[in-house]
Amino acid sequence: MKKMRFTESQIISILKQQEKGQTVAQIAREYGTYEPYMVH
C-alpha cells in the first residue's frame, strides 16, 4: 500500500482553504506540491 502524501487533517485543511477562495496554485505552493497533483 502506498503511503499517503497528506494526512487526513491536512486534506481537510486544504479543502477548507479552497472553499474560502484560495486558489489551488496558492495551496499547492503552501504545501510544497504541484498544482496538477492537487487537482486529481
| pLDDT recorded at residue 16 | 96
| pLDDT recorded at residue 22 | 95
- Alpha-carbon distance of 7 to 14, in angstroms, equals 11
| pLDDT recorded at residue 20 | 96
Helices (H), the chain: 8-19, 24-31, 35-39
Residue 1 lies in a domain: no
- Side chain identity at residue 18, one-letter code: Q
| pLDDT recorded at residue 3 | 64
Q: Which mean pLDDT values do the consecutive 10-residue runs of the chain (40 residues) have?
A: 78 94 92 79
The reported pTM is 0.72
Residue 21 lies in a domain: yes
Domain extent for 19: 8-39
DSSP state of 20: T
- Side chain identity at residue 19, one-letter code: E
Total count of domains within the chain = 1
Cell 487537482, located at residue: 39
Residue 3 lies in a domain: no
Residue 15 lies in a domain: yes
